[in-house]
Amino acid sequence: MSQHRLCILGATGSIGLNTLAVVREHPERFQIDVLTANTNVKQMVALCSEFRPRQAIMVCPEAAAELAQVLSSQPSTAKIEVRSGLGPLQEAASNEANDTVMAAIVGGAGLAPTLAAVQAGKRVLLANKEALVMSGQLFMDAALTSGAQILPVDSEHNAIFQCLPREAQQLGSCDLAAAGIDKIILTGSGGPFRELPLAELTEQSPAAACAHPNWDMGQKISVDSATMMNKGLEYIEARWLFNCTAAQLDVVLHPQSVIHSMVSYADGSVLAQMGRPDMRTPIAHCLSFPERIASGVEPLDFMALQNLTFASADAERYPCLALAIKACWQGQWATTALNAANEVAVAHFLNGSLRFTAIAEVCAAVVKQLETTHAGHDVNSLEAVLSVDGQARANATNLIEMNYSC
């Protein structure tokens, strides 16, 4: 039985809490070394009281001060070291006191600590897809150099990983054709607006966009699922993890979210990973790989399953998906810019200052703006990534303030 000491980046989020739900069931296997969060003090107090980490980090200094005060007043938590800021996140992710890092911060904020874990040669359980979308080759090269083991938490990539033969599970450098694989098929539900009349898309509220039919997730990824930018980011994520060409990567709509993705082999066999739409399954798979542990998720009840259906994604309904697929093959500058523009646009949508359909318009415009200065240029250092990211965020903010305030 393998044992691991964990650093959980983004412990208070949907993935963080699901990770701790699996950990709770296996105290003999997992110890918590570090928990991190942005601002949620109440949740962190509860998690620190239960899991007694060596260290608790809150990015927000006021939140860290409040957490330190509460923890020091309870005998059971008084020894937990509380830190604040971004530097400690990177230190914790690369500290030798833990061997496994769950990268579950949402968005670009997760890039630096996730990359620090990769550079330190950790087992990195990757949920934070934006980090890989932003840095692609840099991220995978860092893993090859350090010997870090990347395990995909995203349910689609986890499904694909499970359907690959052992020799192709070398993420970043696998040779799909040599392993007899024709195609990777990413499945996506199509989100809550899959059947809505197109004319009604523009007036959809944040609450409606976040009401995903199958998955219970954080707000940002829920909006990304409604636009299908999430599937676009996953397409880019798959390209890097599985070393795919455009011809080796397809997206198929599958509204029931029972098949989590598939691998199609040269002999006509298609391997699919199936299960309930519950992130504890891929999380448990990554936590214990190559062993298997209980996740708390019930097996599929085939007698209760309705039809499993499949369709292609409608380009008019999901312009973000096409933007992401195009950006994937345009170059690193394009995926970094697209991700940044999307984060800014989604934040504005969530606070009520941008229409749902304008998310795609802002993303398209920002990538186009940056194309003139960045196309053909290498983005192969963290500084270069952060520079494109910063510029795209500034452009997206300007664009929204000038043209889109609602």
Integer Cα distance of 100 and 22 in angstroms: 15
C-alpha triplet 92, 103, 281: angle, nearest 5°: 135
Rule CB under 6 A: choose which of 6, 7, 14, 189 binds ligand NAD: 14
The nearer residue to Mg ion, 98 or 155, going by C-beta atoms, is 155
Distances in whole angstroms, Cα of residue 94 to Cα of each of 11, 114, 121, 127, 139:
17, 9, 8, 17, 15
By CB under 5 A, tell whether 237 contacts Mg ion: no
By CB under 6 A, tell whether 116 contacts ligand NAD: no
> Structure tokens of 183?
């195609």
Rule CB under 6 A: choose which of 4, 5, 21, 38 binds ligand NAD: 38
Q: Which stretch binds ligand NAD (CB under 6 A): 32-40, 142-150, 242-250, 381-389?
A: 32-40
Minimum CB–partner distance for residue 247 and ligand NAD (Å)? 26
To the question of whether residue 42 is assigned a binding role by annotation, the answer is no
The nearer residue to Mg ion, 85 or 218, going by C-beta atoms, is 218
Integer Cα distance of 70 and 104 in angstroms: 25
Rule CB under 6 A: choose which of 130, 237, 278, 343 binds ligand NAD: 130
Q: Quick count: other Cβ atoms within 10 Å of Cβ 364?
A: 18
Rule CB under 6 A: choose which of 6, 32, 106, 365 binds ligand NAD: 106
Minimum CB–partner distance for residue 154 and ligand NAD (Å)? 4
**Three-state secondary structure call for residue 345:** helix
Q: Which of residues 144-183 bind ligand NAD (CB under 6 A)?
A: 154
Minimum CB–partner distance for residue 13 and ligand NAD (Å)? 2
List the single partner that 10 binds among ligand NAD, Mg ion, none, CB under 5 to 8 Å by kind.
ligand NAD
Phi, psi of 156 (to 5 degrees): -65, -45
Give which of 320, 324, 149 is closest to 241, Cα–Cα.
149
Residues near 364 by beta carbon (within 8 Å), at least 6 away in sequence: 319, 323
By CB under 6 A, tell whether 279 contacts ligand NAD: yes
Q: Which stretch binds ligand NAD (CB under 6 A): 37-45, 69-77, 303-311, 381-389?
A: 37-45
Give which of 111, 109, 165, 118 is closest to 140, Cα–Cα.
118
Integer Cα distance of 111 and 9 in angstroms: 11
The nearer residue to ligand NAD, 48 or 109, going by C-beta atoms, is 109
Ramachandran region, residue 348 (left: φ > 0; alpha: ψ -120 to 50; beta: rest):
alpha
Residues near 286 by beta carbon (within 8 Å), at least 6 away in sequence: 125, 151, 152, 153, 158
Rule CB under 6 A: choose which of 41, 101, 104, 367 binds ligand NAD: 104
Element (H, E) at 271: strand 270-274
By CB under 6 A, tell whether 37 contacts ligand NAD: yes
Rule CB under 6 A: choose which of 6, 12, 184, 323 binds ligand NAD: 12
Residues near 4 by beta carbon (within 8 Å), at least 6 away in sequence: 29, 30, 31, 99, 100, 123, 287
The nearer residue to ligand NAD, 9 or 140, going by C-beta atoms, is 9
Q: Quick count: other Cβ atoms within 10 Å of Cβ 313?
A: 17
Distances in whole angstroms, Cα of residue 63 to Cα of each of 15, 60, 307, 337:
21, 5, 48, 31
Minimum CB–partner distance for residue 234 and Mg ion (Å)? 5
List the single partner that 16 binds among ligand NAD, Mg ion, none, CB under 5 to 8 Å by kind.
ligand NAD
Rule CB under 6 A: choose which of 31, 218, 293, 296 binds ligand NAD: 218
The nearer residue to ligand NAD, 106 or 286, going by C-beta atoms, is 106
Minimum CB–partner distance for residue 15 and ligand NAD (Å)? 4
By CB under 5 A, tell whether 154 contacts Mg ion: yes
Rule CB under 6 A: choose which of 6, 20, 92, 127 binds ligand NAD: 127
Size of the residue set binding ligand NAD (CB under 6 A): 26
- DSSP assignments along 143-167, one per residue: HHHHT-EEEE-SHHHHHHHHHS-GG
By CB under 5 A, tell whether 343 contacts Mg ion: no
C-alpha triplet 220, 369, 378: angle, nearest 5°: 85
> Structure tokens of 84?
């604040």
Closest-by-Cβ residue to Mg ion is: 154
For binding to Mg ion (CB under 5 A), which residues are involved? 154-156
Annotated binding site for Mn(2+): 154, 156, 234
Annotated binding site for NADPH: 12-15, 40, 128, 130, 218
Annotated binding site for 1-deoxy-D-xylulose 5-phosphate: 129, 155-156, 189, 212, 225, 230-231, 234
